[in-house]
Amino acid sequence: MSRPARATWHSCRVSITNSRPIRASYTGVVHPEETFRETRLPWRREARCVLASRTRSTSPCSKTDNRQGKPMVAPLPFSSSFYLPALFLLVVATAAAAVDSAGAASLDDEPPVGLELALTAIDHDDPAGFRHALDRVEETQHGEVIRRHLRTLWLLDRVNEEPAAVAAQLREYPEDPMMPRLKRRYLDYLADRSAWGEYRLVFDRAPEITPGAKRQCVYWQAEIEIEGTLAGEQPEAALATWERGRSQPKACDPVFDWLEAHDYLDEQAYRERIRAAITAGQDGLARYLVGRGPAGLATYRDRWLALRDQPASAVAERIDVEGDGEEITQGLLWLAKQDPARARSLRQRASRLELIDEAQSASVSRLAALKAAYRYEPQAFEWLQEVPVSARDHEVWTWTVRSALRHLDWSRVKQAIDAMPEEIASEREWRFWHAEAEQRLGRTTAARAVWRTLAETPDYHGFLAADRLGIRYPLPENTRRPDPPSAQTLAALQARPWLSLAFALHRLDRPEDARRLFNHALADVPEAELPALAWQADRAGWPDRASVVLARMEAFHAPQWLSTRFATPYRSLVEAQAERQSIPPAWVYSIMRRESLFMRDIGSGVGASGLMQLMPATGRWINRQAGLGLAPLRFDDPGTNIALGAAYLARMAERFGNRYPLAIAAYNAGPGRARDWLPAVPLPGDVWVDTI
């Protein structure tokens, strides 16, 4: 069974309640696939589910801008679990109207005069209109900064026409938030014109950028053209670029020619790149390198292809001939993904013959044990415990517990958590399961003491702990909004030019630039002004930025911020589509918050688009299957996107017998994976959740 990357899939936290809390592990049972269609989880009045991201990052909300490839949401140091969809219901039912600070200047006031005119002129390539708009902007508060920003936006699409103005803008305002984009475009302009001296000067000056392979290679070419050679660490850096396992931009060819002319591309370098190409699945590149490089590389390539494609026999053959340890290790790692037991057996043999060192052996032992654990194989616990301490990372420690938990072996659960490093054992998930193991082993007093502490915090394991104790969840009876900030604090925020401009761009529906300017300005906002900024973002209908500020404030569980953290934007659209599809709107909001943090214009690394983050192919499929008749499919349109997402969630709920935890797992990771995660025998729901 293949598993998704840990950073891209999420488990569904299940808690089942009746008129009073019931222990989820006793009543929520996940059944094996053979009884899947006939058996339902015994939902009572309400099922509570939360999506949790098991990543090393503390941010469950980091997304990537689909054009720039940069984080558009600051990492959020949330706990490893999110709140329940029920909390959205609490917020919707009790949220009070926001109260303005009387007479205070506000960041969400009308945008400055001329700003919208200037943006329209930029969009329509209207120089006269742009100049007129700039004159009007100059008369407003922060007019100089707004004018600079607009001038940069104008130049971004006119580098070819106004290169001198671009160069001047970069020299004068290198710290402005849009300058990295302008610098990249100006470098491309200079490269096209072989302006080597200017290219090198601009490349080395602020602002600092991540140049990528193409611009870095052009810089090295500029060095060669001007100095006649590469010096210092440059040749080795260029060689490392050449040795990558994928084809590099054509702009790198002159640099690679220099490397070849100066004898850097020897047989060893070709071997390194062939191996990297085969590892990356770039067999065509490997074939090209064999034809271009020194004689005899075909045998080397074929050996690596065999290690990748037939690892069991190829590794055994390399051991028989006492081959290279690096080749044997990589072959064993490939084999561990297919046949962990066979990989362990061959690893032991290679170790006895001293063909691989301790670190190489440990890496194979680690991967084989983890793959067995991912497949819930009964021997996984012993294998994970055999992994040398030097190779035990967070994944090994936690899956050692999960492998015992999946088989309801409470002695081993306790043993594995007791052996964890303190920083991992102190995580709330493992504190909860350690207490559960104590309870199952007869030490009820100790277990209940831990649960009482956990139940004070309204997160997933806090809710489970409350279930175990039979007490109410630690949620407020009513939500309330925070008190409005003082006029003085609001004025201080308004006085920050980039922040003020960010809110103006948000109001004018320029979300990407608005977020970029907001993030730029946020770094300089003092702690004392953060509550006012969160209040202001919430008031402006900007829930994703409000969440970013709350994360920095660490105000996750403060009752006055619940309606801000769990906002309900696009409420009429969500409720209409939820009613149309006969699904709870709170579940739609839960997915929307987790998938996109309510942003409509962001994209995931695999091509999903905003809000509920459906892949385009999935969106087209559900549009046909559900008979929505939406055309054209504009995924950045909230109405279209929410309609598609709600229909797909409804289809997953239908497919999984209206068991929403399974439906949401299927929504996020695909129905095939959700079925793969079903246990071979009935399993308590909370155990299933924490072992997928």
How far is it, in rounded angstroms, from Cα 105 to Cα 623? 45
Helices H / strands E in the chain, number of each? 38, 4
Reading the block at residue 34, the tokens are 């053979």
Q: Nearest Cα to 484, choosing from 97, 209, 41, 173? A: 97
d(CA 63, CA 515) in angstroms, rounded, equals 12
What is the crossing angle of helices 325-338 and 297-309, to 10°?
Answer: 30
Pair of tokens at residue 28: 């929520």
Please compute Rg for the chain using Cα positions. Answer: 29
Nearest to 179, CA basis, from 197, 199, 153, 160: 153
447 CB-near residues (< 8 Å, 6+ apart): 435, 436, 438, 439, 468
Distance between CA atoms of residues 452 and 465, nearest Å:
7
For tokens 């909300």, the residue is: 61
Question: Active-site residues: which are they?
Answer: 595
What tokens does 593 get? 């918050």
CA distance 610 to 635: 7
Query: CA 585, 48, 538: angle at the middle one, nearest 5?
Result: 50
Torsion of CA 401, 404, 407, 410, to 10 degrees: -100
**What's the CA gap between 429 and 96, in Å, rounded?**
34
- DSSP symbols for 254-310: HHHHHHHHTT-S-HHHHHHHHHHHHHTT-HHHHHHHHHHS-TTHHHHHHHHHHHHHS
Q: Tell me how far apart the alpha carbons of residues 522 and 506 are, in angstroms, rounded to a whole number.
A: 15
Cα gap 98→96, rounded to integer Å: 6
Q: How far apart are alpha carbons 519 and 106 in whole angstroms?
A: 19
Q: Is 582 left (phi over 0), alpha (psi -120 to 50) or beta?
A: left
SS3 label, residue 490 = helix
8 Å CB contact between 598 and 567: yes
| Angstrom distance (rounded) from CA 41 to CA 39 | 7
For residues 112 and 96, the answer to whether their CB atoms sit within 8 Å is no
